[in-house]
């Protein structure tokens, strides 16, 4: 039973480019959470999605960031026109049900040059 998968593990982008981060939840999980971690800091919640719905996006920056979790395929976190401050590790987690324990992926490390 594969765990949560994220790809790519490392992503390098130049300022102004787009970054697309993918998260495949554990089999049977329909709830996905995205977090951002700056160096030496804890995770900060960004967005919580269920299949085809955004449930809570209170942690998402108002501009340039978007997330989706389509009926088929992985959840995508999309960052448009990246800036150096977007450099961070982005983790996703999935759970089986609302309030269920979250299982984390290995993270994607985004570096913006």
The site for another protein (CB under 8 A) is made up of 3-4, 33, 35, 37, 40-48, 55-56, 59, 89, 91, 93, 98-99, 101-107, 109
Decide if 91 contacts 35 (C-beta within 8 A): yes
d(CA 105, CA 2): 10
Please identify, using beta-carbon distances, which residue of 40 and 63 lies nearer to another protein.
40
Please identify, using beta-carbon distances, which residue of 55 and 113 lies nearer to another protein.
55
- Direct distance between the N- and C-terminal alpha carbons of the chain, in angstroms, rounded to an integer: 37
Decide if 92 contacts 32 (C-beta within 8 A): yes
Q: How far is the CB of 103 from another protein (least distance, A)?
A: 5
Please identify, using beta-carbon distances, which residue of 4 and 112 lies nearer to another protein.
4
Name the token pair of 74: 């992985």
Q: How far is the CB of 95 from another protein (least distance, A)?
A: 9
- Does residue 44 sit in helix, strand or coil? strand
Q: How far is the CB of 108 from another protein (least distance, A)?
A: 11
């Amino acid at each position: 039973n594969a765990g949560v998968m994220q790809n790519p593990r490392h992503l390098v982008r130049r300022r102004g480019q787009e970054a697309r981060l993918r998260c495949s939840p554990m089999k049977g999980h329909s709830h996905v959470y995205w977090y951002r971690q700056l160096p030496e800091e804890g995770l900060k919640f960004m967005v919580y999605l269920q299949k085809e719905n955004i449930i809570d996006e209170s942690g998402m920056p108002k501009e340039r960031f978007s997330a989706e979790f389509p009926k088929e395929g992985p959840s995508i976190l999309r960052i448009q026109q990246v800036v150096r401050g977007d450099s961070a590790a982005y983790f996703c987690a999935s759970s089986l049900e609302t309030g269920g324990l979250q299982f984390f992926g290995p993270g994607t490390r985004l570096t913006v040059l």
